[in-house]
């Protein structure tokens, strides 16, 4: 059964995942592709001038490294001790990177002091996504970017229906929560639809909000067929996904939803 996340279970899960986390992007085709697509989307949205970016749930520092390569100063927020231990060994983060060993609910940052705030796969672990979103917006300057990557409630419903798990599909659809498991640990996750995450962002004070689907073909073909397509010709699958990503109406069909907006004055 699905259930809402707690801080303790999310931290325990990512502690267990930490040692294998970076390697998983090499061994799991869909994970590798969705990260590439999501980063492409983020990179296109980042401010052209060098600034400060908050990376919420920075994990092992994968996006923080990319941000540092672009010249941005990065403030990473990461509550998992084991993920932080992996991150600490990365030379690219020795300078221009500040780590806060907190949850997004506990981290203390000045208001309107950052040029962008990213939460790439972390907002769904917040106990209260509405309150967490308000905090993300509080940290960014007026006109600054807030961008999140979340799991799609609709895409997961399609996947479970395809697998014949009808009761579970309807439960996830109704409750808006799912479960992510690794290494014997499990954590609840909030699930979103495009309209819901967009409304949450507008309520928190963001304007020009947009959403896009990431890994739309996984909903169309199924997880196994999508993975096989990636292994057969990854660049062709990426080209297809880039085309599908540009259609706003397909946002809910993406396994993940990339959503962004800009803090209003």
223 vs 234: CA distance, rounded Å: 15
User: Residue 1 has what pLDDT?
Assistant: 47
SS (H, E, C) 122-184: CHHHCCCHHHHHHHHHHHEEEEEEEEEEEEEHHHHHHHHHHCCCHHHHHHHHHHCEEEEEECC
Q: Judge whether 153 and 254 are in contact, CB under 8 Å.
A: no
Q: Which residue has the tokens 């059964």?
A: 1
Residues contacting 239, CB < 8 A, separation 6+: none
113 vs 136: CA distance, rounded Å: 11
Domain-by-domain residue ranges, the chain? 7-263
222 vs 239: CA distance, rounded Å: 18
Structure tokens, 55: 């990376």
Q: What is the DSSP letter of 104?
A: T
237 vs 227: CA distance, rounded Å: 10
123 vs 265: CA distance, rounded Å: 24
pLDDT tens digits, 176-223: 999 999 989 999 999 999 999 999 999 999 999 999 999 999 999 999
Q: Which residue has the tokens 């300078």?
A: 95
228 vs 174: CA distance, rounded Å: 31
CATH of region 7-263: 3.40.50.150
Q: What is the DSSP letter of 248?
A: G
27 vs 9: CA distance, rounded Å: 25
116 vs 47: CA distance, rounded Å: 8
Structure tokens, 178: 């799912």
The HSE-up count of residue 113 (CA atoms within 13 Å, CB side) is: 9
103 vs 21: CA distance, rounded Å: 19
Cα 168 from chain centroid?
Answer: 23
User: Residue 265 has what pLDDT?
Assistant: 84
The maximal CA–CA distance of the chain, rounded, in angstroms, is 50
| List of the chain residues with pLDDT < 70 | 1-2
């Amino acid at each position: 059964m699905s259930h809402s996340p707690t801080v303790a279970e999310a931290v325990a899960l990512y502690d267990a995942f930490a040692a294998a986390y970076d390697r998983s992007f090499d061994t799991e085709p869909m994970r590798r592709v969705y990260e590439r697509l999501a980063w492409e989307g983020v990179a296109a949205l980042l401010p052209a001038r060098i600034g400060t970016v908050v990376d919420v749930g920075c994990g092992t520092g994968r996006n923080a490294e990319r941000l540092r390569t672009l010249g941005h100063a990065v403030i990473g927020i990461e509550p998992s001790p084991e993920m932080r231990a992996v991150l600490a060994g990365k030379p690219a983060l020795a300078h221009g990177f500040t780590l806060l060993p907190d949850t997004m609910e506990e981290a203390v940052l000045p208001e309107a002091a950052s040029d962008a705030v990213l939460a790439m796969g972390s907002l769904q672990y917040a106990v209260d996504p509405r309150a967490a979103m308000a905090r993300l917006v509080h940290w960014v300057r007026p006109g600054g970017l807030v961008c999140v990557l979340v799991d799609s409630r609709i895409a997961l419903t399609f996947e479970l229906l395809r697998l014949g798990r009808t009761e579970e599909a309807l439960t996830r659809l109704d409750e808006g929560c799912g479960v992510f498991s690794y290494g014997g640990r499990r954590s609840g996750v909030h699930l979103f639809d495009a309209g819901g995450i967009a409304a949450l962002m507008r309520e928190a004070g963001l304007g020009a909000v947009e959403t896009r689907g990431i890994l739309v073909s996984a909903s169309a073909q199924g997880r196994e067929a999508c993975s096989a397509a990636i292994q057969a010709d990854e660049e062709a699958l990426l080209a297809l996904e880039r085309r599908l990503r540009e259609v706003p109406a397909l946002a809910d069909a993406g396994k993940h939803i990339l959503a962004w907006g800009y803090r209003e004055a």
